[in-house]
Chains A and B, each alone.
Chain A
Amino acid sequence: DASDGKIKIGILNDQSGVYADFGGKSSYEAAKMAVEDFGGKVLDVPVEVVTADHQNKPDIASNIARQWYDTEQVDAIMELTTSSVALAVQAISKEKKKIDIVTGAATTELTGKQCSPYGFHWAYDTHSLAVGTGGALVKQGGDSWFFLTADYAFGYSLEENTANFVKENGGTVVGSVRHPLASTDFSSFLLQAQSSGAKVIGLANAGLDTSNAIKQASEFGIVQGGQRLAALLFTLAEVHGLGLEAAQGLTLTEGFYWNRDDESRAFAKRFFERTGKMPNMIHTGTYSAVLQYLKAVQKAGTDETEAVSKALHEMPVDDVFGRGGTVAANGRMIHDMYLLQVKKPADSKEPWDYFDVLDTIPGKDAYLDPAKSGCDLVK
């Protein structure tokens, strides 16, 4: 049974900074939806969700995480946007023997060298994005690539992973250019990409950098010129900010699309009523993580970490997000990913109807084989 008469889940993410649209306050709503859908109680004790804004600062995040664990009886922390924050909080959770489920950060380190027996990585990671966009797109005919890469570790690993899949699937990489983080103007890089003659221009960057690159690509008529843009980390929320006019034709990979089927549409509609926007993979991933956690507590019959963690590792995932998902020994939740293409404005039938699903990538292909992850929990 529950140790302190209550199950408490903390949603720790960026609510005021660059990643506020990515998850932000809406993820808190998603978490509450999950609790309500579960019935508001587990093991006969009430479930409470708390939230905090880590402002993208690992020290604030770790301060809050420690305080939550030590003085506020929080049982698990979720979402954790930004890799530095996720890694820091995962280390604390490991030390304190508490559960963390990351849906916001992309780094594979979380289930690699820095994995934790109580740490889980839920919605996506750099590897799955690379497989989705890199691998699947080659099959769709995009077999020569030019990368626009943000000049830091995150960008490199996106580029490297993607390039591997491009080559594995018989494509070629004709060149790449590294642009500094937070460049406002991409025209110079785009021109280089254009003259390379590659069929696909891969954007190995994130956030505003990607948005600006896409917007300027449309200005320079790159897509009209027959080249394809593929964003390696981009979600529905950013497409919405960009508008279909500028984003049309863009290819990207997400772990969820709201307009996928009736179940997803029903969930999205409820989410929309509460937040005014449609959910992306982060929001839905957090929903799924909370729900699965509660199921695990139910199954373990206690909120004791070891037991819940064991249950989480063992139980299959089956909800609107992670249909048919499984959790590997390194904490990686393995589920299907979707290769999406942004519609032309004329083809969009309703608000937020943005994507055509080009392909579904089965979980086992999308995620790194746990045995090769470098995590020493995998024997």
Chain B
Amino acid sequence: MAASAMPGESNPRVVLSARGLRRDFGAFTAVKNVDLDVHHARVHALIGPNGAGKTTVFNLLTKFLQPTHGTITLLGTDITRTPPDKVARMGLVRSFQISAVFPHLTVLDNVRVALQRPNNLAVQFWRPMSALDRLNDRADELIAAVGLTRERNALAADLSYGRKRVLEIATTLALDPKVLLLDEPMAGMGQEDVGVVSDIIRTVALDRAVLMVEHNLSVVANICHHVTVLQRGEILAEGDYAEVSQDPRVRTAYMGTEEA
């Protein structure tokens, strides 16, 4: 497989791409004819009205759902028929719209679970738990990066909603994914965390591709390089935020009169 692109490369590489993506649920078509290119070192936003098919596109890309038509390519490999765990191991990791942590594990363990796999510490049933201690430095780094150091030993269940989302991001980052798919990372988050997470995403994207669904338009305006607008399962507009937000179709379908 090709070596990962150097940061600062002038023409960013396409790392994840979809062609002619379609998904039917019975007679209802949730996604149709979607072409999408996600680039290295860029934050790419997927926006659109509720029910436009954003989450469905995510599910298709990560293979939690099988597309009815179309192909998906990750880092040059066709993954249209690959199971989801395999896709994750290839470097495409997602977060969920409804928060997903391991509630009865501590914050540290949440992150370590993610670190175990790339470090080949997952199947070893004959080694003591202390074998995991060598992951602690990296885990603490990640925990610090998202500002959860104080809660390091708390159970994830005891965290507030916003903190859980932050933890989820730390866990996702632990896999050192090449492509990160974030489904409404800011939803339900207090303003103070929105800033933090925006910063994290920006930093992360320096040497990764990020695709995110977000309804918080100020976030989209601030951190996304590229925006795709979806409506009724089809691409309505594409471009940078400034272009897209001026598009009258987008304004009626999605943004309303509200100013970002």
A and B touch in the complex (CB under 8 A): no
Residues on B facing A (Cβ under 8 Å): none
Task: Report A's interface with B, CB cutoff 8 A.
Answer: none
